[in-house]
Amino acid sequence: MKSIINYIVIITSVLLALPTLVCAEDYMYWEDFAKIELPNITSRGQTQQSSATVTLYLSGDAQITADDTIAAQLSCTTDTLITEYKLTFDSTGGSTGVGTGGDGGTEWQSYDTFLKTGTEGNVDYVADDNSVQVTLWVKASNDANGVADSDEYDAIQTLTVSWGWPE
C-alpha cells in the first residue's frame, strides 16, 4: 500500500509542475494589425495621419525594427507622398516600450529611416505582464515642390520583433 501512495504523490507532483515546465518556454507573437486608412489630402499643405494598435505578447525584452524599403512609402502608379512613421506604446504599467525619437514616441521618422539602428522600438518586459500595446502611426503629405496626383496610395510597412535590445 505504501508504494501506491508514493506513486500517487509522485504523479500528482509531476502534474502540478507540468504547466510550469511547459509554459516556461520563451515566446513572442503579434495579433494582426488592422489596415490603416488615411483621410484624403485635399490641399497642397495638408498633412494626414492615422494609426492602428496591436497587442504584442512576449516573455522577455524585445526590439522592434521596420522595413525601410520603397514598399513602405505611400505611392501610386504615377506619384509618391512624403511618408513618415512613428511607434508608440501603452503606458499603463507593466511591459512598455520606447518608441521613436529621443522622447519615446512623438518624433516622426521618414519611411527609409524608421526604426533603423539606434532608433529601434525597445520593449522593456516586466515580469507577469506578457503583453504591450503597440501603435503604428503613419503620416502623409505632399512634397513641398509639388502636389501628388489624385489617386489611391498604398504602402506596406513590416515590423519585425526580435529578442533583447542593446543597453
pTM of the model: 0.77
- Is the dihedral angle over the CA atoms 55, 59, 61, 63 positive or is it negative? negative
Q: Collapse the DSSP code of 132 into the 3-class scheme (helix H, G, I; strand E, B; otherwise coil) and give the result.
A: strand
pLDDT, tens only, 63-81: 888 988 999 999 999 999 9
Strand 82-89 with 131-141, pairing: antiparallel
CB 132 within 8 A of CB 123: yes
Residue 99's pLDDT is 54
pLDDT less than 70: residues of the chain: 1-24, 91-106, 165-167
Domains of the chain: 26-163 (2.60.40)
Residue 151's pLDDT is 92
Residue 95's pLDDT is 53
C-alpha cell at 97: 516600450
Distances (CA, A) of 86 to 102, 117, 121: 12, 15, 9
In DSSP notation, 10-73 reads HHHHHHHHHHHHHHTS--EEEPPPPPP-PPPP-STT-EEEEEEEEEEEESS-EEEEE--SGGGS
